[in-house]
Amino acid sequence: MGRSRTVAATADGCWDTFAGFGRPAYRFPVAWAGVQPEGRGPAPRACLAYYDRLVDSLLDKGVTPIATLYQWDLPQSLDEAGGWTNRETALRFADYTTAVHAALGDRVRLWTTLDEPSRAAFLGHAHDAVDALRAAHHLLLAHGLAVSVVRERAPEHEVSIVLNLTTVVVDRDDHVHTAAFRRVDGLRNRFFLDPLFGRGYPVDVLADTAWLGTWDDVVLPGDLDVIAEPVDWYGVAYYGPARVIPTEDPLAVTGGGHPGLRGARLLAPPFGEPLGEAFAELMLRLSIDYPELPLMVTENTHPAAVAV
């Protein structure tokens, strides 16, 4: 894979060109609930046969397959046992990764562990901030365990994760607006980026959410090392900027996308928001704050932002 920092890509089901690869590629999700309907054990032959045909067809057409291991479909039995709030789900994800890699790893060389884990965690548990944060940690733990599986089975393969990140926008540069910016940016961006890059969870985010309780029974010794297992690149899904205003209401939160956050409120981007400029700002920020890895834009709903 090319080592350019920013690579435009598509993930909409079309066999377009991955510009940074210099060859056609197609990123597709693998259904965990199909491969392991009970969340463990051998996969039904019919399900694996489908992915065999898909991968073979892509390769026959000269298209490089990129397998995404998790895009929000969870086996029912695991969901009933607590889903991502249950640490066991992360361990089961490692076993699932082994099963998929054993079936497809002879032909698939590019892997994405999770697609937009904040959606599964924060939106999937919008009713309970404690559960949302617990789920987020277990998703990141599952990512690290999956990376280790692929590395052990095929060190030459490339592994990534896709995050939905945003540019946080405030209207003024005073103390309260700056504080609101920091809080939302912390949960929306840094909460996922920092541990992946070996920096642990941001101290200020832990302080912002401390009123929910401690993480002593969630983040266990060694977890952060697992999460920081090196990847080859990371993907960015971009849907537009997040405009934030401060609020004095101590119980106000920004909605399901930012669990347990006080003192800030998220607004829907108004018509005319400078989408391309916000995208360019995000790309610049990532290249400065997280320069260690190349990034790939895997999804982008705003055409004006493509030319960056």
- Burial class of residue 54 in the structure, from the number of CB atoms within 10 Å of its CB (0-12 exposed, 13-18 middle, 19+ buried): middle
Q: Which tokens hold the place of 43?
A: 């996969």
**Rounded to 5°, angle at Cα 202 from 254 and 94:** 95
Whole-angstrom distance, CA of residue 266 vs CA of residue 247: 10
Catalytic residue among 88, 248, 292, 299: 299
With a CB cutoff of 8 Å and minimum separation 6, the contacts of 277 are none
Give yes or no: 116 in active site.
Answer: yes
Q: Which of 80, 116, 277, 281 is catalytic?
A: 116
| CA neighbor of 74 nearest in space, from 98, 39, 101, 49 | 39
Pairing status of strand 23-29 against strand 17-18: antiparallel
6 Rama class: left (phi>0) / alpha (psi -120 to 50) / beta: beta
Whether residue 299 lies in the annotated active site: yes
Distance (Å, whole) CA 175 – CA 79:
42
Cα–Cα distance measured from residue 117 to residue 189, given in angstroms and rounded to the nearest whole number: 12
How far is it, in rounded angstroms, from Cα 124 to Cα 246?
25
User: Cβ neighbours of residue 80 under 8 Å, at least 6 residues apart?
Assistant: none
Distance CA 230, CA 243 (A): 32
Question: DSSP string of 166-193?
Answer: --EE-S--SHHHHHHHHHHHIIIIIHHH
Query: Which positions are annotated as active-site residues?
Result: 116, 299
